[in-house]
Amino acid sequence: MSTSKSSSKQSGKGKQGFAGMDEEKRKEAASKGGSTSKKDSSPQAESQVDEETDESEELDELLSLLEDDLTELDSDEAVEIIDEWEEILSESDEPALKEIGKGLKQLKKALSASKSKPADIAEALTHLGQKTDEYANEAQRGYKTKLHTLGKALSKAGKALEDQAE
């Protein structure tokens, strides 16, 4: 398998947003569905707006990646992306986000298995899609649409893989 240009951009970009935050900011961002913004005109608030923009861009890049052919994504790169999002979500105090984090762990396990089974990967993607779509209803304004889109894209990828395996 080869890597696509957008997936290469994803792995480099991923370290700038959430991974670049201190632990407290990541927990805050995770509990708000990816947003750390507060209405404030201080330099710190401006920095938070920049971080929120980075987070939104990361989500956009993930959506773009899911629009591409996922079979073109190298499994090691996929695991790296999953690790980053799993870490972010595991720091959340919200049970729904922790549940999505567990789903990511299952997906990583299915991808990392010595004999990856398409049915297991499809099931994990579909589950993640459903949980993400459910969480989108509770997400902070500005993230709802993107999270619904992400949930549907994950479910669609799972369904396509399931159909391919049959």
Residue extents of the structural domains in the chain: 5-165
Indicate the pTM of the whole model: 0.67
CA–CA distance, 148 with 108 (Å, rounded to integer) = 22
Q: What is the pLDDT of residue 2?
A: 39
Q: Is a pLDDT exceeding 60 seen at residue 12?
A: no
Q: Is a pLDDT exceeding 50 seen at residue 14?
A: no
Kindly report, residue by residue over 20-64, the tens digit of the pLDDT. Answer: 455 555 555 555 555 544 445 555 545 444 445 566 777 788 888
| Chain position carrying tokens 């899911």 | 66
Count Cα neighbours of 111 within 13 Å in the Cβ-side half-sphere: 23
- Bigger pLDDT: 34 vs 136: 136
Kindly report, residue by residue over 99-131, the tens digit of the pLDDT. Answer: 999 999 999 999 888 888 889 999 999 999 999
Q: Is a pLDDT exceeding 70 seen at residue 156?
A: yes
- What Rg value do the Cα atoms of the chain yield, rounded? 16
Q: What is the pLDDT of residue 125?
A: 94
Q: What is the mean pLDDT of residues 81-95?
A: 87
Q: What is the mean pLDDT of residues 77-88?
A: 88
Q: What is the pLDDT of residue 89?
A: 85
Q: Is a pLDDT exceeding 50 seen at residue 160?
A: yes
